[in-house]
Amino acid sequence: MTEAKSVAVIGSLNIDYFTRVESLPAPGETVCSDSLDIFRGGKGANQAIAASRQGSEIIFIGTVGNDEHGKKYLKELAKEGIDTSHIETVKGSTGTAFITVDRSGENMIVISSGANSTLTREQVKAKTKQISSAGAVLGQFEVPLPAIVEGARIANQNEVPVIINPSPVEKTFPWQEIRTDYLLVNEHEAGEVLGFNPWDEELSLVRQRLHELRVENLIVTRGGDDTLVYNRGDEVISIPTLAVLPIDTVGAGDAFAGCFAARIASGEKLEDALAAANCAGALTTLGAGAQNPVPDRERVDQHLEHLSQSS
């Protein structure tokens, strides 16, 4: 029997302006689109919603602007059952993301950080009690890095698992200052953080690099291919994912991260948490926007059952 514990998410909230084009513009080029959708997004909020739909109680530490977007966002999160009392409202605009997706699903994202850029180390420190009693702490890099470092430091001191999704990658992150229990990256991010592609090198070299970065488990998602885990074990662990025909991949990595955090927080084994996270990520690609298509626990479990019956 597993114990449901909360997930503390330290991260961003954005309003996503989403448009589709035939081909992404080259520098200096203008392209026209006949579509515009406005969704709620931001890696922090997307991951918080994904964890909440897996049944976790969420402690969300973030900031919105005192504009209409910010007010509406808090109401919508509350409807999801997410406690918004740790989200501060500051003067100015809520974060905004401009997302352009081409015919092949390739995307370009520009973020205007707005209120996200005001999250401080002190704000996180003020939540020491909540972080210390959480089942996992989950952070990304769309908010100032000192806030993430502080959350991880508190978690480390209290033996709470730290999950970092270093997106967008920030070269100056002080990895040595904290212990990262689970580092969630896509293939591109893996190369950026390690300085080389782990699948191109001897396992001993990968392990040495993880040791230097104080990372216990490196988890590499690879779209429709198996997710890989590099850790102290003698072999790379490979976890299959669900075969789907994606229509929109924006937010799939966030659904993976949120589901994974929820499952780890409730005490699931690494392999089981990853199988569930793979399903959540894949199912999220079947709808538009980064939050609406995120599946709940029941739906993920149904797919896991089908997978186990067909294997």
Say whether residue 43 binds ligand RIB (CB under 6 A). yes
Closest CA to 230 of 204, 258, 266: 204
Residues 6+ away with beta carbon under 8 Å from 172: 145
Among 11, 41, 135, 258, binds ligand RIB (CB under 6 A): 41
CA angle in degrees (0–180, nearest 5) for 133-137-143? 130
- The alpha carbon dihedral of 50, 6, 146, 70 has a sign of positive
Closer CB to ligand RIB, residue 16 or residue 150? Answer: 16
Say whether residue 69 binds ligand RIB (CB under 6 A). no
Among 5, 6, 42, 138, binds ligand RIB (CB under 6 A): 42
CA angle in degrees (0–180, nearest 5) for 289-291-297? 135
Closest CA to 213 of 167, 169, 176, 173: 176
Q: Closest distance between ligand RIB and the C-beta of residue 300, in Å?
A: 19
Options 3-11, 41-49, 67-75, 182-190: segment touching ligand RIB (CB under 6 A): 41-49
Residues 6+ away with beta carbon under 8 Å from 75: none
Say whether residue 186 binds ligand RIB (CB under 6 A). no
Say whether residue 21 binds ligand RIB (CB under 6 A). no
Q: Closest distance between ligand RIB and the C-beta of residue 207, in Å?
A: 29
Among positions 251-290, residues that touch ligand RIB (CB under 6 A) are 251, 253-254, 290
Contact 77, 45 (CB under 8 A): yes
Contact 261, 301 (CB under 8 A): no
Among 9, 11, 46, 94, binds ligand RIB (CB under 6 A): 46
Active-site residue 83, yes or no?
no
Q: Closest distance between ligand RIB and the C-beta of residue 261, in Å?
A: 15
Q: Closest distance between ligand RIB and the C-beta of residue 150, in Å?
A: 21
Catalytic residue among 254, 272, 296, 301: 254
**Residues shown for the chain:** 311
Q: Closest distance between ligand RIB and the C-beta of residue 269, in Å?
A: 26
Answer left, alpha or beta for residue 143, where phi above 0 means left and psi between -120 and 50 means alpha. Answer: beta
Q: State which residue has the least CB distance to ligand RIB.
A: 41
Options 125-133, 143-151, 249-257, 277-285: segment touching ligand RIB (CB under 6 A): 249-257
Q: Closest distance between ligand RIB and the C-beta of residue 61, in Å?
A: 16
Assigned token pair, 248: 């929109």
Say whether residue 198 binds ligand RIB (CB under 6 A). no
Options 25-33, 39-47, 79-87, 202-210: segment touching ligand RIB (CB under 6 A): 39-47
Q: Closest distance between ligand RIB and the C-beta of residue 92, in Å?
A: 17
Residue 135, classified by CB atoms within 10 Å of its CB into exposed (0-12), middle (13-18) or buried (19+), is buried
Sheet of strand 107-112: strand arrangement: 37-41, 14-20, 95-101, 107-112
Among positions 95-134, residues that touch ligand RIB (CB under 6 A) are 97, 109, 111
Say whether residue 16 binds ligand RIB (CB under 6 A). yes
Contact 163, 140 (CB under 8 A): no
Contact 189, 168 (CB under 8 A): no
Positions marked catalytic: 254
Binding residues vs ligand RIB (CB under 6 A): 14, 16, 41-43, 46, 97, 109, 111, 142, 250-251, 253-254, 290
